């Protein structure tokens, strides 16, 4: 892996089974020099903040994941102190998930509205989770409805791990969306993902691991870690016919343009 590259992993989660400090050190050696740890609940966001604040070039986002929506009491005040941290740069991971349905859809939508309001209040981007039920694109329509209003009011956002079709990608792109691209790009049966990524605006593509999930080939099925992210950069470079260093420079620049509170 090319240690000259400076890559920004714009979406990962702390692992309960691995040494997270060691993960950061190994990521640095692999050229992944900036990391954004996402929170999925207040407690998870608190852990992300504590972790980010004791390491250089690590940032965090705070929010309520759709899987956790049923357990959220609607008290957004507990999230406001996060915005005081110099390492806080986004609200997320938030959104809609009709694939698993761990939380009721009504509560997911209510939570998404409240979290988007926080992103507007804090003047930071939102990190969006959008996963539809099998054989459906229902979650994309719901997210689009809320994000249209959010964008109209000046909100910015990234749809992480984007797995929708070209049509939905273009609709979100018209709202100014950024798109998270990760390990799925390398999967043998992900021609649909590669087709969509090739049509994404180059200045809106971000690299991410979603660690510890979605490890790229040849590590698929194992816990994902940030040091694997250059494999995604190499794959995207191969698809576009450009050097991997160019992909690293492009996507890292895109990340700092979106996450304005993050600093090199």
Q: What is the pLDDT of residue 2?
A: 43
Q: Is residue 124 part of a domain?
A: yes
User: Is 72 a member of any domain?
Assistant: yes
Please tell me the predicted confidence (pLDDT) of residue 4.
67
- Provide the number of structural domains found in the chain: 1
CATH number at residue 157: 3.20.20.140
**H-helix or E-strand containing 96?**
strand 88-97
Q: How many CA atoms lie within 13 A of 40 on its CB side?
A: 13
Among 114, 59, 111, CA closest to 90: 59
The CA distance from 206 to 122, in Å, is 22
Name the CA dihedral angle for 30, 263, 44, 147, rounded to a multiple of 10 degrees: -110
Strand partners, 35: 9, 58
Quote the CA–CA distance of 84 and 147 in Å, as a whole number. Answer: 25
Tell whether 119 is covered by a domain.
Answer: yes
- Residue 219 resides in a domain: yes
Q: What's the confidence (pLDDT) of residue 18?
A: 86
Domain annotation covers residue 225: yes
Is the residue at 163 inside a domain?
yes
Tens digit of pLDDT at every position of the chain (264 positions): 444 689 999 999 998 888 999 999 999 999 999 999 999 999 999 999 999 999 999 999 999 999 999 999 999 999 999 999 999 999 999 999 999 989 999 999 999 999 999 999 999 999 999 999 999 999 999 999 999 999 999 999 999 999 999 999 999 999 999 999 999 999 999 999 999 999 999 999 999 999 999 999 999 999 999 999 999 999 999 999 999 999 999 999 999 999 999 988
Residues in the chain: 264
Q: How many whole angstroms separate alpha carbon 95 and alpha carbon 112?
A: 6
Picking from 206, 248, 213, the residue whose alpha carbon sits closest to that of residue 30 is 248
Q: Cα dist. 228→69, 238, 242, 254 in Å?
A: 30, 16, 19, 20
Q: Say if 214 falls within a structural domain.
A: yes
Nearest to 224 by CA among 21, 8, 14, 68: 14
For 207, how many CA atoms within 13 A lie in the half-sphere containing its CB? Answer: 34
Rounded Cα distance, 33 and 264, in Å: 9
Q: 72 φ, ψ to 5°?
A: -95, 125
Where in the sequence is the domain holding 70, given as residue range(s)?
Answer: 7-258
Crossing angle of helices 191-199 and 229-240, in 10° steps, is 70
Q: Report how far residue 64's alpha carbon sits from residue 102's, in angstroms, rounded to the nearest whole number.
A: 13
In a domain, 1, yes or no: no
* CB within 8 Å of 137: residues ≥ 6 apart: 164, 165, 168
């Amino acid at each position: 892996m090319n240690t000259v590259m400076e890559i920004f992993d714009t979406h990962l989660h702390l692992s309960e089974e691995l040494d997270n400090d060691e993960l950061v050190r190994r990521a640095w050696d692999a050229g992944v020099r900036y990391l954004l740890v996402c929170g999925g609940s207040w407690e998870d966001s608190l852990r992300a903040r504590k972790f980010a604040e004791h390491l250089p070039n690590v940032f965090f986002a705070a929010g309520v994941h759709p899987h956790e929506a049923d357990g959220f009491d609607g008290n957004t005040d507990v999230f406001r102190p996060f915005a005081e941290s110099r390492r806080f740069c986004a609200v997320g991971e938030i959104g809609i998930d009709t694939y698993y349905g761990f939380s009721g859809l009504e509560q997911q939508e209510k939570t998404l509205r409240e979290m988007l309001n926080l992103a507007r209040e804090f003047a930071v981007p939102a990190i969006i989770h959008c996963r539809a039920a099998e054989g459906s694109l229902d979650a994309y329509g719901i997210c689009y409805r809320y994000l249209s209003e959010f964008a109209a009011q000046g909100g910015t956002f990234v749809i992480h791990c984007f797995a929708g079709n070209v049509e939905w990608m273009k609709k979100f792109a018209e709202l100014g969306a950024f798109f998270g691209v990760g390990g799925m790009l390398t999967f043998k049966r992900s021609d649909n993902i590669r087709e969509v990524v090739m049509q994404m605006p180059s200045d809106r593509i971000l690299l991410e691991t979603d660690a510890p999930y979605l490890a790229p080939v040849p590590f698929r099925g194992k816990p994902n870690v940030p040091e694997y992210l250059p494999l995604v950069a190499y794959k995207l470079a191969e698809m576009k016919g450009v050097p991997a260093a160019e992909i690293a420079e492009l996507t890292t620049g895109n990340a700092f343009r979106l996450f304005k509170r993050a600093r090199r």
